[in-house]
Amino acid sequence: MVRTPLTPEERLRGERLGLLLREARGARSMTEIAARAGISAETLRKIETGRAPTPAFFTVAALAGALGLSMDELLPRCSPEPSAVPLAG
């Protein structure tokens, strides 16, 4: 099965997710957070560095729980910024 290439928006969303997770992890070890979320440290490393820009929903939810983040606050912060182009009216 061939995977379709990611769009620039998907890549950007993955980069933002990785940055948010790294910031939320702070000084805690990658191994500790990965274990709490039930994933491997390598999977967390790939998500944090953007090498896995489209992790499964349940993986993101598990990481959010391990980091004490709300999905309600996490998801909007990963979305691309609204266009700066004014709407024609």
Cβ-based neighbour number of residue 20 at 10 Å: 19
Domains of the chain: 8-77 (1.10.260.40)
Cα 37 → chain centroid: 14
CB-based burial, 45-80: b 16+ in 10 Å, e otherwise: ebbbebebbebeeebbebbbebbebeeeebeeebee
Instruction: Name which of 45-54, 56-65, 71-80 the model is least confident about.
Output: 71-80
Cβ proximity of 48 and 21 under 8 Å: yes
pLDDT per position as a tens digit, 15-44: 999 999 999 999 999 999 999 999 999 999
Give the total residue count for the chain. Answer: 89
